[in-house]
A and B are shown apart, each in its own frame.
Chain A
Amino acid sequence: MSGEPNVLLAAHALTKRYGDGPPVLAGLDLDVREGEIVALLGRSGSGKSTLLRCLAGLLPPSTGAVTYRGVALTGANPGAAMVFQTFALLPWLTVLQNVEVGLEARGVARAARRHAALNALDLIGLAGFQSAYPKELSGGMRQRVGFARALVVEPDLLLMDEPFSALDVLTAENLRGELLELWESGEFPTQAMVLVTHNLEEAVLLADRAVVLGTGPGGAVGTVYDIPLPRPRDRDAPEFAAQIERLYAVMTGRPEAAPLPPLGLRPAPRQASDAGGAEASGGQHPLGAGGVSRPGGGPAVAGGVDHAGHISREQPRLRQQPGDVGVGGAVEDPRAVAAREHEPGRP
Chain B
Amino acid sequence: MAMPSGAGGRTARLAPSFLSDAVVGLGVLAVAYAAIRLGYEAASSPASVSTDPADLPYLAGRSLLRMFAALALSLVFALVWAYAAARSRRVGRVLIPLLDVLQSLPVLGFLVVAVSGFTTVLPRSEWGLEAAAVFAIFSSQAWNMAFAFYQSLITLPRELDEMARDMGFTRWMRFWKVELPSAAIGLVWNGMLSFAGGWFFLVAAEAATAAGGVHALPGVGSFAGAAVAAGDLGGVGWAVAATAATVVVVNFLFWRPLVAWAERFKVEQAEGATVQRSVVLDLLRRSRWPRLAGRALGLARDMLERAGSHRPGAGRPGECLRRGDGWQQNGHSGDTLINAAVCTSAGAALAVLAVYLARHPAGPALLLEPLLLGAVTLVRVLVLVAVATLVWVPIGVAIGLSPRLTRIAQPIVQVLASFPADLLFPLATWLFLATGAGLDVGGAFLMALGAQWYILFNAIAGATAVPADLREAMDSLGVYGWRRWRRLVIPAVFPAYVTGGITASGGAWNASIVAEVVTFGGTVVTATGLGAYVSQAADAGDHPRLVAGVLVMAFYVMALNRLVWRRLYRLADRRYSLD
- Are B316 and A81 neighbours in the complex by a CB distance under 8 Å? no
Given A60-B327, A75-B317, are A344 and B167 also a contact pair (CB < 8 Å)?
no
Query: Once the chains are docked, how many angstroms separate the CA of A134 from the CA of B9?
Result: 12
Query: Once the chains are docked, how many angstroms separate the CA of A101 from the CA of B269?
Result: 20
Stretch from B158-166, B333-341, B496-504 that touches the partner: B158-166
- Are A58 and B159 neighbours in the complex by a CB distance under 8 Å? no
- Are A76 and B266 neighbours in the complex by a CB distance under 8 Å? no
The binding surface of chain B is classed by DSSP as loop
Digitize A56-69: 1 where CB-to-B-CB distance is under 8 Å, 0 elsewhere: 11111000000010
- Are A101 and B177 neighbours in the complex by a CB distance under 8 Å? yes
Q: Which residues of B contact A73 (CB under 8 A)?
A: 314
Give chain B interface residues in 1-30, CB to chain A under 8 Å: 1, 3-4, 6-9
Query: Once the chains are docked, how many angstroms separate the CA of A87 from the CA of B157?
Result: 12
- Most chain B CB atoms below 10 A, which of A73, A76, A77, A106: A76
Given A88-B159, A136-B8, are A105 and B168 also a contact pair (CB < 8 Å)?
yes
- Are B166 and A56 neighbours in the complex by a CB distance under 8 Å? yes
Digitize A90-109: 1 where CB-to-B-CB distance is under 8 Å, 0 elsewhere: 11111000000110111100
Q: Which residues of A contact B177 (CB under 8 A)?
A: 90, 93, 101
Given A105-B168, A107-B309, are A58 and B264 also a contact pair (CB < 8 Å)?
no
A-B pair count, CB < 8 Å, reads 125
Partner among B167, B173, B316 whose Cβ is within 8 Å of the Cβ of A75: B316
Given A105-B168, A344-B3, are A82 and B163 also a contact pair (CB < 8 Å)?
yes
- Are A135 and B6 neighbours in the complex by a CB distance under 8 Å? yes
Q: Which residues of A contact B312 (CB under 8 A)?
A: 75-76
Q: Give the distance to chain A from B317, nearest Cβ to Cβ, in Å.
A: 5
Query: Once the chains are docked, how many angstroms separate the CA of A90 from the CA of B156?
Result: 12
Determine if A317 is an interface residue (Cβ-Cβ < 8 Å). Answer: no
Q: Which residues of B contact A110 (CB under 8 A)?
A: 302
- Are B162 and A84 neighbours in the complex by a CB distance under 8 Å? yes
Given A131-B8, A345-B3, are A74 and B314 also a contact pair (CB < 8 Å)?
yes
Determine if B100 is an interface residue (Cβ-Cβ < 8 Å). Answer: no
Given A74-B316, A74-B317, A75-B316, are A58 and B4 also a contact pair (CB < 8 Å)?
no
- Are A53 and B162 neighbours in the complex by a CB distance under 8 Å? yes
- Are A78 and B329 neighbours in the complex by a CB distance under 8 Å? no
Determine if B170 is an interface residue (Cβ-Cβ < 8 Å). Answer: yes
- Most chain A CB atoms below 10 A, which of B8, B160, B166, B329: B166
Q: Give the distance to chain B from A339, nearest Cβ to Cβ, in Å.
A: 15
Name the residue of chain A whose CB is nearest to the CB of B12.
Answer: A131
Q: Which residues of B contact A132 (CB under 8 A)?
A: 8
Query: Once the chains are docked, how many angstroms separate the CA of A81 from the CA of B167?
Result: 7
Q: Give the distance to chain A from B100, nearest Cβ to Cβ, in Å.
A: 25
- Are B6 and A133 neighbours in the complex by a CB distance under 8 Å? yes
Q: Give the distance to chain A from B230, nearest Cβ to Cβ, in Å.
A: 53
Q: Give the distance to chain A from B530, nearest Cβ to Cβ, in Å.
A: 44
Determine if B310 is an interface residue (Cβ-Cβ < 8 Å). Answer: yes
- Are A19 and B324 neighbours in the complex by a CB distance under 8 Å? yes
Name the residue of chain A whose CB is nearest to the CB of B326.
Answer: A60
Determine if B391 is an interface residue (Cβ-Cβ < 8 Å). Answer: no
- Most chain A CB atoms below 10 A, which of B1, B4, B302, B314: B314
Q: Which residues of A contact B329 (CB under 8 A)?
A: 60
- Are A84 and B309 neighbours in the complex by a CB distance under 8 Å? no
Determine if B267 is an interface residue (Cβ-Cβ < 8 Å). Answer: yes
Query: Once the chains are docked, how many angstroms separate the CA of A60 from the CA of B159?
Result: 17
Partner among A53, A56, A78 whose Cβ is within 8 Å of the Cβ of B311: A78
- Are B166 and A91 neighbours in the complex by a CB distance under 8 Å? no
Given A75-B316, A76-B312, A102-B168, are A136 and B9 also a contact pair (CB < 8 Å)?
yes
- Are A105 and B264 neighbours in the complex by a CB distance under 8 Å? no
- Most chain A CB atoms below 10 A, which of B6, B313, B324: B6
Given A75-B327, A106-B311, are A92 and B181 also a contact pair (CB < 8 Å)?
yes
Determine if A124 is an interface residue (Cβ-Cβ < 8 Å). Answer: no
Determine if B52 is an interface residue (Cβ-Cβ < 8 Å). Answer: no
- Are B327 and A104 neighbours in the complex by a CB distance under 8 Å? no
Query: Once the chains are docked, how many angstroms separate the CA of A86 from the CA of B163?
Result: 11
- Are B305 and A104 neighbours in the complex by a CB distance under 8 Å? yes
Determine if B57 is an interface residue (Cβ-Cβ < 8 Å). Answer: no
Determine if A167 is an interface residue (Cβ-Cβ < 8 Å). Answer: no
Given A59-B325, A88-B159, are A135 and B166 also a contact pair (CB < 8 Å)?
no
Partner among A78, A92, A131 whose Cβ is within 8 Å of the Cβ of B168: A78
Name the residue of chain B whose CB is nearest to the CB of A93.
Answer: B177
Q: Give the distance to chain A from B22, nearest Cβ to Cβ, in Å.
A: 27
Q: Give the distance to chain A from B505, nearest Cβ to Cβ, in Å.
A: 35
Query: Once the chains are docked, how many angstroms separate the CA of A101 from the CA of B170?
Result: 10
Determine if A275 is an interface residue (Cβ-Cβ < 8 Å). Answer: no
Given A73-B314, A76-B168, A84-B163, are A136 and B309 also a contact pair (CB < 8 Å)?
no
- Are B327 and A105 neighbours in the complex by a CB distance under 8 Å? no
Q: Give the distance to chain B from A81, nearest Cβ to Cβ, in Å.
A: 7
Give chain A interface residues in 38-69, CB to chain B under 8 Å: 53, 56-60, 68
Q: Which residues of A contact B265 (CB under 8 A)?
A: 91-92
Determine if B332 is an interface residue (Cβ-Cβ < 8 Å). Answer: no
Given A58-B162, A92-B265, are A105 and B173 also a contact pair (CB < 8 Å)?
yes
Query: Once the chains are docked, how many angstroms separate the CA of A71 from the CA of B316?
Result: 13
Query: Once the chains are docked, how many angstroms separate the CA of A132 from the CA of B178?
Result: 19
Determine if B318 is an interface residue (Cβ-Cβ < 8 Å). Answer: yes
Determine if A80 is an interface residue (Cβ-Cβ < 8 Å). Answer: yes
Partner among B1, B167, B325 whose Cβ is within 8 Å of the Cβ of A105: B167
Determine if B483 is an interface residue (Cβ-Cβ < 8 Å). Answer: no
Query: Once the chains are docked, how many angstroms separate the CA of A87 from the CA of B314?
Result: 25
Determine if B169 is an interface residue (Cβ-Cβ < 8 Å). Answer: yes
- Are B324 and A75 neighbours in the complex by a CB distance under 8 Å? no
Give chain B interface residues in 242-279, CB to chain A under 8 Å: 264-267, 269
Determine if B404 is an interface residue (Cβ-Cβ < 8 Å). Answer: no
Determine if A169 is an interface residue (Cβ-Cβ < 8 Å). Answer: no
- Are B325 and A18 neighbours in the complex by a CB distance under 8 Å? yes
- Most chain B CB atoms below 10 A, which of A78, A88, A133: A88
- Are A78 and B162 neighbours in the complex by a CB distance under 8 Å? no
- Are B173 and A107 neighbours in the complex by a CB distance under 8 Å? no
- Are A88 and B160 neighbours in the complex by a CB distance under 8 Å? yes
Partner among A18, A80, A81, A86 whose Cβ is within 8 Å of the Cβ of B159: A86
Determine if A153 is an interface residue (Cβ-Cβ < 8 Å). Answer: yes
Given A19-B324, A58-B318, A74-B314, are A101 and B167 also a contact pair (CB < 8 Å)?
yes
Given A19-B324, A88-B159, are A135 and B4 also a contact pair (CB < 8 Å)?
yes
Q: Which residues of B contact A75 (CB under 8 A)?
A: 165, 312-318, 327
Name the residue of chain A whose CB is nearest to the CB of B324.
Answer: A19
Query: Once the chains are docked, how many angstroms separate the CA of A107 from the CA of B163?
Result: 17
Q: Give the distance to chain B from A116, nearest Cβ to Cβ, in Å.
A: 14
Q: Which residues of A contact B167 (CB under 8 A)?
A: 81, 101-102, 105, 149, 153
Q: Give the distance to chain B from A244, nearest Cβ to Cβ, in Å.
A: 30
Query: Once the chains are docked, how many angstroms separate the CA of A92 from the CA of B269?
Result: 11
Query: Once the chains are docked, how many angstroms separate the CA of A86 from the CA of B3?
Result: 18
- Are A74 and B327 neighbours in the complex by a CB distance under 8 Å? yes
Given A82-B162, A88-B160, are A105 and B316 also a contact pair (CB < 8 Å)?
no
Name the residue of chain A whose CB is nearest to the CB of B163.
Answer: A88
Given A82-B162, A106-B168, A135-B4, are A90 and B314 also a contact pair (CB < 8 Å)?
no
Please list 11 pairs of residues, one from A and one from B, whose beta carbons are closer than 8 Å in the complex, sorted by A's number. A74-B314, A74-B316, A77-B166, A78-B168, A78-B313, A85-B159, A88-B163, A92-B264, A101-B169, A107-B309, A134-B269
Contacts A58-B162, A68-B314, A135-B266 known; list 6 others, CB within 8 Å. A59-B325, A77-B314, A78-B314, A91-B265, A106-B311, A136-B6
Nearest first, the 10 closest Cβ-Cβ pairs linking A and B are: A75-B318, A107-B309, A88-B159, A88-B163, A102-B167, A82-B166, A60-B327, A133-B6, A105-B168, A133-B8
